[in-house]
Amino acid sequence: MGRAPCCDKANVKKGPWSPEEDSKLKDYIEKFGTGGNWIALPHKAGLKRCGKSCRLRWLNYLRPNIKHGEFSDEEDRIICTLFASIGSRWSIIAAQLPGRTDNDIKNYWNTKLKKKLMAMASHQSQRKSVPFSSPPNHQSPPLSYNSLSSLYKDSSADFSICFDPISPIPSNLLATNSSFLFQTQEPALLNPLQYYHPLKDNNNNCSSSSSSGNNNLLVFGSEASCSSNSDGSCSKISYGGSKEIIKQEEMGFQGFISNGYEENQKFMLSGDLNQWTEKVTGYFGETLALDYCLEDVKQLISSSSSSNNSSNNYYFLTDENKTREKFMYYYY
DNA sequence: AAAGCTCTCAACCGCGCCGCC
DNA sequence: CGGCGGCGCGGTTGAGAGCTT
Protein backbone atom coordinates (compact mmCIF):
# COMPACT_ATOMS: atom_id res chain seq x y z
CA MET A 1 0.00 0.00 0.00
CA GLY A 2 1.39 3.34 -1.04
CA ARG A 3 1.06 6.60 0.77
CA ALA A 4 -2.05 8.68 0.40
CA PRO A 5 -1.85 11.18 -2.45
CA CYS A 6 -1.14 14.74 -1.38
CA CYS A 7 -4.19 16.03 -3.17
CA ASP A 8 -7.23 14.90 -5.09
CA LYS A 9 -5.59 14.05 -8.37
CA ALA A 10 -8.87 13.99 -10.21
CA ASN A 11 -9.67 17.59 -9.38
CA VAL A 12 -6.38 19.28 -9.94
CA LYS A 13 -5.06 20.67 -13.12
CA LYS A 14 -1.76 19.39 -14.37
CA GLY A 15 0.61 20.53 -17.04
CA PRO A 16 1.91 23.94 -17.98
CA TRP A 17 0.82 26.95 -15.99
CA SER A 18 -1.18 29.63 -17.70
CA PRO A 19 -0.37 33.32 -17.20
CA GLU A 20 -3.62 33.65 -15.24
CA GLU A 21 -2.61 30.90 -12.86
CA ASP A 22 0.82 32.43 -12.46
CA SER A 23 -0.74 35.75 -11.71
CA LYS A 24 -3.13 34.30 -9.14
CA LEU A 25 -0.38 32.44 -7.38
CA LYS A 26 2.01 35.35 -7.42
CA ASP A 27 -0.58 37.80 -6.20
CA TYR A 28 -1.68 35.53 -3.43
CA ILE A 29 1.79 34.80 -2.14
CA GLU A 30 2.83 38.43 -2.34
CA LYS A 31 -0.20 39.40 -0.31
CA PHE A 32 -0.47 36.57 2.16
CA GLY A 33 2.71 34.54 1.91
CA THR A 34 2.60 30.80 1.74
CA GLY A 35 1.12 30.54 5.18
CA GLY A 36 3.44 27.65 5.79
CA ASN A 37 0.97 25.35 4.15
CA TRP A 38 1.34 24.64 0.48
CA ILE A 39 -1.40 22.04 0.49
CA ALA A 40 -4.02 24.56 1.52
CA LEU A 41 -2.64 27.39 -0.57
CA PRO A 42 -4.10 26.55 -3.99
CA HIS A 43 -7.62 26.40 -2.61
CA LYS A 44 -7.19 29.73 -0.83
CA ALA A 45 -5.69 31.28 -3.93
CA GLY A 46 -8.45 29.95 -6.12
CA LEU A 47 -6.25 27.61 -8.05
CA LYS A 48 -7.10 24.13 -9.16
CA ARG A 49 -3.60 22.95 -8.60
CA CYS A 50 -1.81 20.60 -6.29
CA GLY A 51 0.03 22.34 -3.48
CA LYS A 52 3.25 20.76 -4.56
CA SER A 53 2.74 22.07 -8.04
CA CYS A 54 2.20 25.58 -6.64
CA ARG A 55 5.29 25.31 -4.54
CA LEU A 56 7.36 24.20 -7.50
CA ARG A 57 5.99 26.90 -9.72
CA TRP A 58 6.73 29.55 -7.15
CA LEU A 59 10.19 28.35 -6.25
CA ASN A 60 11.35 27.64 -9.76
CA TYR A 61 9.72 30.38 -11.70
CA LEU A 62 7.66 33.01 -9.97
CA ARG A 63 9.57 34.02 -6.93
CA PRO A 64 11.60 37.22 -7.14
CA ASN A 65 15.23 37.28 -8.21
CA ILE A 66 15.11 34.09 -10.16
CA LYS A 67 17.82 34.10 -12.74
CA HIS A 68 17.12 32.41 -16.05
CA GLY A 69 19.30 31.98 -19.06
CA GLU A 70 22.92 31.25 -19.70
CA PHE A 71 25.17 30.05 -16.97
CA SER A 72 28.39 31.92 -16.63
CA ASP A 73 31.80 30.26 -16.63
CA GLU A 74 32.01 30.95 -12.97
CA GLU A 75 28.72 29.20 -12.39
CA ASP A 76 29.90 26.29 -14.53
CA ARG A 77 32.98 25.98 -12.48
CA ILE A 78 31.12 26.07 -9.22
CA ILE A 79 28.65 23.47 -10.38
CA CYS A 80 31.40 21.17 -11.59
CA THR A 81 33.40 21.59 -8.46
CA LEU A 82 30.48 21.00 -6.18
CA PHE A 83 29.14 18.11 -8.19
CA ALA A 84 32.54 16.50 -8.10
CA SER A 85 32.56 16.83 -4.38
CA ILE A 86 29.04 16.19 -3.20
CA GLY A 87 27.28 14.63 -6.13
CA SER A 88 23.78 15.47 -7.19
CA ARG A 89 22.70 17.48 -4.23
CA TRP A 90 21.25 20.17 -6.35
CA SER A 91 19.65 22.14 -3.59
CA ILE A 92 23.00 22.58 -1.93
CA ILE A 93 24.65 23.50 -5.18
CA ALA A 94 21.82 25.90 -5.91
CA ALA A 95 22.40 27.55 -2.57
CA GLN A 96 25.81 28.60 -3.84
CA LEU A 97 24.41 30.19 -6.96
CA PRO A 98 22.14 33.08 -6.12
CA GLY A 99 19.10 33.23 -8.32
CA ARG A 100 19.50 29.73 -9.63
CA THR A 101 17.16 26.95 -8.66
CA ASP A 102 18.02 23.37 -8.03
CA ASN A 103 15.82 22.39 -10.94
CA ASP A 104 17.65 24.78 -13.21
CA ILE A 105 21.02 23.48 -12.22
CA LYS A 106 19.91 19.90 -12.45
CA ASN A 107 18.61 20.48 -15.96
CA TYR A 108 21.67 22.38 -16.94
CA TRP A 109 23.94 19.66 -15.66
CA ASN A 110 21.98 16.86 -17.29
CA THR A 111 21.60 18.52 -20.63
CA LYS A 112 24.75 20.49 -21.11
CA LEU A 113 27.52 20.35 -18.60
CA LYS A 114 27.59 16.60 -18.23
CA LYS A 115 27.66 16.06 -21.95
CA LYS A 116 30.39 18.52 -22.38
CA LEU A 117 32.50 16.92 -19.73
CA MET A 118 31.75 13.40 -20.84
CA ALA A 119 32.69 14.22 -24.37
CA MET A 120 35.99 15.39 -23.13
CA ALA A 121 36.35 12.36 -20.91
CA SER A 122 35.71 10.24 -23.92
CA HIS A 123 38.40 12.03 -25.78
CA GLN A 124 40.71 11.46 -22.87
CA SER A 125 39.92 7.77 -22.62
CA GLN A 126 40.63 7.30 -26.28
CA ARG A 127 44.13 8.28 -25.58
CA LYS A 128 44.51 5.86 -22.71
CA SER A 129 42.11 3.08 -22.08
CA VAL A 130 42.33 0.82 -19.09
CA PRO A 131 39.62 -1.57 -17.91
CA PHE A 132 37.87 -0.40 -14.87
CA SER A 133 34.70 -1.22 -13.12
CA SER A 134 32.39 0.11 -10.54
CA PRO A 135 32.68 -1.02 -7.01
CA PRO A 136 30.04 -3.41 -5.80
CA ASN A 137 26.93 -2.06 -4.23
CA HIS A 138 27.76 1.42 -5.04
CA GLN A 139 24.87 3.75 -4.72
CA SER A 140 24.39 6.35 -7.34
CA PRO A 141 27.85 7.47 -8.16
CA PRO A 142 27.71 10.90 -9.59
CA LEU A 143 29.41 9.72 -12.69
CA SER A 144 30.61 6.44 -14.08
CA TYR A 145 33.98 5.01 -13.46
CA ASN A 146 34.76 4.04 -16.94
CA SER A 147 37.09 6.70 -18.00
CA LEU A 148 38.63 7.44 -14.71
CA SER A 149 41.37 4.94 -15.02
CA SER A 150 42.89 6.74 -17.90
CA LEU A 151 42.93 9.84 -15.86
CA TYR A 152 44.51 8.03 -12.98
CA LYS A 153 47.07 6.50 -15.21
CA ASP A 154 47.88 9.68 -16.91
CA SER A 155 51.11 10.74 -15.42
CA SER A 156 50.57 14.18 -16.76
CA ALA A 157 47.44 14.39 -14.74
CA ASP A 158 47.93 16.38 -11.66
CA PHE A 159 45.11 15.72 -9.36
CA SER A 160 43.91 14.07 -6.27
CA ILE A 161 40.96 11.86 -5.69
CA CYS A 162 39.51 11.13 -2.36
CA PHE A 163 36.75 9.38 -0.61
CA ASP A 164 34.70 10.52 2.24
CA PRO A 165 35.50 8.59 5.35
CA ILE A 166 32.27 9.31 7.09
CA SER A 167 29.63 10.43 4.78
CA PRO A 168 27.53 8.30 2.49
CA ILE A 169 27.61 11.21 0.14
CA PRO A 170 29.82 10.79 -2.84
CA SER A 171 32.86 12.79 -2.14
CA ASN A 172 35.18 12.36 -4.98
CA LEU A 173 37.25 15.27 -5.84
CA LEU A 174 39.47 16.55 -8.41
CA ALA A 175 41.92 19.13 -7.42
CA THR A 176 44.36 20.71 -9.65
CA ASN A 177 46.27 23.77 -8.83
CA SER A 178 43.56 24.28 -6.34
CA SER A 179 42.85 23.31 -2.84
CA PHE A 180 39.76 21.66 -1.59
CA LEU A 181 38.66 21.40 1.89
CA PHE A 182 35.80 19.43 3.26
CA GLN A 183 34.66 19.76 6.74
CA THR A 184 31.67 18.27 8.38
CA GLN A 185 31.67 20.58 11.29
CA GLU A 186 31.02 24.20 11.83
CA PRO A 187 33.40 26.70 10.33
CA ALA A 188 34.57 27.54 13.77
CA LEU A 189 35.54 23.93 14.21
CA LEU A 190 37.54 23.62 11.08
CA ASN A 191 40.33 21.72 12.61
CA PRO A 192 41.05 18.95 12.49
CA LEU A 193 41.33 18.60 8.79
CA GLN A 194 42.54 16.14 6.34
CA TYR A 195 44.30 16.45 3.13
CA TYR A 196 45.83 14.34 0.49
CA HIS A 197 48.61 14.72 -1.85
CA PRO A 198 48.00 14.71 -5.56
CA LEU A 199 48.52 11.49 -7.35
CA LYS A 200 51.27 11.86 -9.84
CA ASP A 201 51.94 8.38 -11.06
CA ASN A 202 51.87 4.82 -9.91
CA ASN A 203 55.48 4.45 -9.07
CA ASN A 204 55.39 6.16 -5.77
CA ASN A 205 56.67 9.24 -7.39
CA CYS A 206 54.57 11.80 -5.81
CA SER A 207 55.59 15.30 -6.47
CA SER A 208 55.57 17.23 -3.35
CA SER A 209 53.19 20.02 -2.92
CA SER A 210 53.32 19.98 0.80
CA SER A 211 56.78 21.32 0.62
CA SER A 212 56.30 23.56 -2.32
CA GLY A 213 53.22 25.45 -1.51
CA ASN A 214 49.57 25.04 -1.16
CA ASN A 215 48.59 23.86 -4.57
CA ASN A 216 46.98 20.49 -4.94
CA LEU A 217 45.79 20.38 -1.46
CA LEU A 218 42.79 18.24 -0.87
CA VAL A 219 41.01 18.13 2.39
CA PHE A 220 37.89 16.47 3.57
CA GLY A 221 36.23 14.86 6.48
CA SER A 222 36.03 16.00 10.01
CA GLU A 223 37.79 13.63 12.20
CA ALA A 224 41.35 14.03 11.39
CA SER A 225 43.86 16.44 12.56
CA CYS A 226 46.33 18.67 10.94
CA SER A 227 47.89 21.93 11.55
CA SER A 228 47.81 24.76 9.15
CA ASN A 229 50.64 26.75 7.87
CA SER A 230 50.42 30.40 7.53
CA ASP A 231 50.05 30.06 3.81
CA GLY A 232 46.95 28.06 4.35
CA SER A 233 48.32 24.66 3.65
CA CYS A 234 48.39 21.89 6.15
CA SER A 235 51.59 20.46 7.34
CA LYS A 236 50.41 17.66 9.46
CA ILE A 237 47.70 15.16 9.21
CA SER A 238 46.08 12.35 10.97
CA TYR A 239 43.01 10.74 9.76
CA GLY A 240 40.00 10.12 11.88
CA GLY A 241 42.09 9.82 14.95
CA SER A 242 43.73 6.70 13.65
CA LYS A 243 45.55 6.52 10.42
CA GLU A 244 43.41 4.96 7.81
CA ILE A 245 46.04 3.70 5.53
CA ILE A 246 45.28 0.90 3.22
CA LYS A 247 47.88 -1.51 2.21
CA GLN A 248 47.25 -2.43 -1.34
CA GLU A 249 50.45 -3.50 -2.88
CA GLU A 250 48.58 -4.91 -5.79
CA MET A 251 46.52 -1.90 -6.50
CA GLY A 252 46.82 -0.44 -9.88
CA PHE A 253 46.47 3.11 -8.80
CA GLN A 254 48.13 4.51 -5.83
CA GLY A 255 47.79 7.58 -3.87
CA PHE A 256 49.75 8.96 -1.06
CA ILE A 257 48.92 10.46 2.18
CA SER A 258 51.16 13.36 2.37
CA ASN A 259 51.40 14.74 5.80
CA GLY A 260 54.76 16.27 5.73
CA TYR A 261 55.98 13.49 7.93
CA GLU A 262 54.79 10.34 6.34
CA GLU A 263 55.34 10.98 2.72
CA ASN A 264 54.34 8.41 0.21
CA GLN A 265 52.05 6.32 2.28
CA LYS A 266 49.44 4.77 0.13
CA PHE A 267 45.83 5.49 0.57
CA MET A 268 43.00 3.56 -0.88
CA LEU A 269 42.39 3.78 -4.52
CA SER A 270 42.03 0.31 -5.68
CA GLY A 271 42.66 -0.68 -9.21
CA ASP A 272 41.73 -4.23 -8.43
CA LEU A 273 38.33 -4.49 -9.90
CA ASN A 274 37.09 -6.96 -7.36
CA GLN A 275 38.52 -5.24 -4.40
CA TRP A 276 37.35 -1.80 -4.84
CA THR A 277 37.84 -0.57 -1.38
CA GLU A 278 39.72 -2.31 1.28
CA LYS A 279 38.76 -1.03 4.62
CA VAL A 280 41.39 -1.44 7.19
CA THR A 281 40.02 0.15 10.23
CA GLY A 282 36.62 1.27 9.67
CA TYR A 283 34.78 3.93 8.02
CA PHE A 284 36.07 4.34 4.58
CA GLY A 285 33.48 5.06 2.06
CA GLU A 286 33.87 4.08 -1.49
CA THR A 287 36.13 5.85 -3.79
CA LEU A 288 34.27 7.57 -6.49
CA ALA A 289 35.41 8.50 -9.86
CA LEU A 290 34.72 11.19 -12.29
CA ASP A 291 33.74 10.57 -15.78
CA TYR A 292 34.73 13.79 -17.24
CA CYS A 293 37.95 15.10 -18.45
CA LEU A 294 40.34 16.18 -15.90
CA GLU A 295 41.62 19.01 -17.94
CA ASP A 296 38.18 20.32 -18.40
CA VAL A 297 37.33 20.27 -14.79
CA LYS A 298 40.70 21.68 -14.13
CA GLN A 299 40.00 24.51 -16.43
CA LEU A 300 36.57 25.09 -15.08
CA ILE A 301 37.76 25.01 -11.55
CA SER A 302 40.77 27.12 -12.04
CA SER A 303 39.57 29.58 -14.60
CA SER A 304 38.03 32.06 -12.31
CA SER A 305 40.37 31.42 -9.48
CA SER A 306 43.32 32.22 -11.64
CA SER A 307 41.75 35.49 -12.47
CA ASN A 308 41.33 35.89 -8.81
CA ASN A 309 44.95 36.71 -8.67
CA SER A 310 45.56 36.44 -4.99
CA SER A 311 44.80 32.81 -4.66
CA ASN A 312 43.49 29.66 -6.10
CA ASN A 313 42.43 27.83 -3.06
CA TYR A 314 38.90 26.66 -2.54
CA TYR A 315 37.23 26.07 0.65
CA PHE A 316 34.27 23.82 1.18
CA LEU A 317 32.37 23.31 4.29
CA THR A 318 29.83 20.65 4.02
CA ASP A 319 27.69 18.62 6.23
CA GLU A 320 27.44 14.97 5.43
CA ASN A 321 24.15 14.86 7.20
CA LYS A 322 21.77 16.04 4.58
CA THR A 323 19.23 17.27 7.03
CA ARG A 324 21.51 19.93 8.35
CA GLU A 325 22.05 21.38 4.95
CA LYS A 326 25.06 23.29 5.96
CA PHE A 327 27.34 23.97 3.15
CA MET A 328 29.69 26.74 2.51
CA TYR A 329 31.89 27.43 -0.37
CA TYR A 330 34.40 30.10 -0.74
CA TYR A 331 37.85 30.61 -1.82
CA TYR A 332 40.64 32.61 -0.50
C1' DA B 1 8.18 21.98 -47.13
C1' DA B 2 7.66 18.43 -44.11
C1' DA B 3 8.91 14.53 -41.55
C1' DG B 4 11.86 12.83 -38.19
C1' DC B 5 15.09 13.58 -34.69
C1' DT B 6 17.25 15.97 -30.80
C1' DC B 7 17.35 19.07 -27.15
C1' DT B 8 15.57 21.80 -23.45
C1' DC B 9 13.31 22.63 -19.40
C1' DA B 10 8.92 22.97 -16.86
C1' DA B 11 6.46 19.98 -14.37
C1' DC B 12 5.38 15.65 -12.24
C1' DC B 13 6.28 11.80 -9.17
C1' DG B 14 7.77 9.15 -5.37
C1' DC B 15 10.00 9.03 -1.25
C1' DG B 16 12.69 10.44 2.88
C1' DC B 17 12.67 13.53 6.59
C1' DC B 18 10.70 16.08 10.16
C1' DG B 19 7.40 18.16 13.12
C1' DC B 20 3.09 17.78 15.25
C1' DC B 21 -0.50 15.37 17.59
C1' DC C 1 6.42 6.77 20.77
C1' DG C 2 4.11 5.79 16.69
C1' DG C 3 1.19 7.55 13.03
C1' DC C 4 0.14 11.12 10.00
C1' DG C 5 0.63 15.04 7.08
C1' DG C 6 3.42 18.45 4.90
C1' DC C 7 7.73 19.84 2.93
C1' DG C 8 11.65 19.40 0.19
C1' DC C 9 14.56 16.84 -2.69
C1' DG C 10 16.28 14.22 -6.67
C1' DG C 11 14.97 11.50 -10.60
C1' DT C 12 12.15 11.25 -14.51
C1' DT C 13 8.90 12.56 -18.05
C1' DG C 14 6.96 14.76 -21.91
C1' DA C 15 5.55 18.82 -24.64
C1' DG C 16 7.24 21.89 -27.61
C1' DA C 17 10.95 24.29 -29.85
C1' DG C 18 14.76 23.86 -32.77
C1' DC C 19 17.54 21.39 -35.96
C1' DT C 20 18.61 18.10 -39.62
C1' DT C 21 17.75 15.50 -43.56
Residue A121 has a pLDDT of 63
Distance (Å, rounded) from C-alpha A248 to C-alpha A58?
52
Fold of A69-125: Arc Repressor Mutant, subunit A (1.10.10)
β-pairing, A217-219 vs A179-181, is: parallel
Fold of A9-64: Arc Repressor Mutant, subunit A (1.10.10)
Whole-number distance in Å between A187 CA and C8 C1'? 25
User: A65: exposed, middle or buried (C-beta count within 10 Å: 0-12, 13-18, 19+)?
Assistant: exposed
pLDDT digits (tens, 9 = 90+) for A176-191: 323 333 333 223 222 2
pLDDT digits (tens, 9 = 90+) for A95-152: 888 888 888 888 888 888 877 776 666 666 555 443 333 333 333 333 333 333 233 2
pLDDT digits (tens, 9 = 90+) for A51-110: 888 888 888 888 888 888 888 888 888 888 888 778 888 888 888 888 888 888 888 888
Q: Which residues touch strand B (CB under 7 A)?
A: A 2-3, 6, 9, 13-17, 49-50, 52-53, 56-57, 60-61, 68, 103-104, 106-108, 110-112, 115, 322-323
- Whether the per-residue pLDDT at A322 is higher than 70: the answer is no
| Amino acid whose CA is nearest the C1' of C5 | A6
Whole-number distance in Å between A171 CA and B12 C1'? 29
Spell out the domain ranges in chain A: 9-64, 69-125
Q: How far apart are the first and last CA of chain A?
A: 52
Other Cβ atoms closer than 10 A to A290: 25
Average pLDDT of span A11-29: 86
Q: What's the farthest any 2 CA atoms get from each other in chain A?
A: 69
Whether A9-64 and A69-125 share one fold: the answer is: yes
Nucleotides on strand C lying under 7 Å from protein C-beta: 5-12, 15-16
Q: pLDDT confidence of A299, banded at 50, 70, 90? A: low
Q: pLDDT confidence of A282, banded at 50, 70, 90? A: very low
Closest to A268 (Cα-Cα) out of A260, A258, A280: A280
Collect all residues with Cβ–Cβ distance below 8 Å to A277 and sequence separation of at least 6. A135, A163, A268, A270, A284, A285, A286, A287
> What are the residues facing A327 on neighbouring strands?
A318
Residue A309 has a pLDDT of 36
Whole-number distance in Å between A64 CA and C15 C1'? 26
Collect all residues with Cβ–Cβ distance below 8 Å to A208 and sequence separation of at least 6. A197, A258, A263
Whole-number distance in Å between A167 CA and C2 C1'? 29
Whole-number distance in Å between A49 CA and B13 C1'? 15
Whole-number distance in Å between A91 CA and B13 C1'? 18
The amino acid at residue A74 is E
Nucleotides on strand B lying under 7 Å from protein C-beta: 7-15, 17-18
Residue A78 has a pLDDT of 86
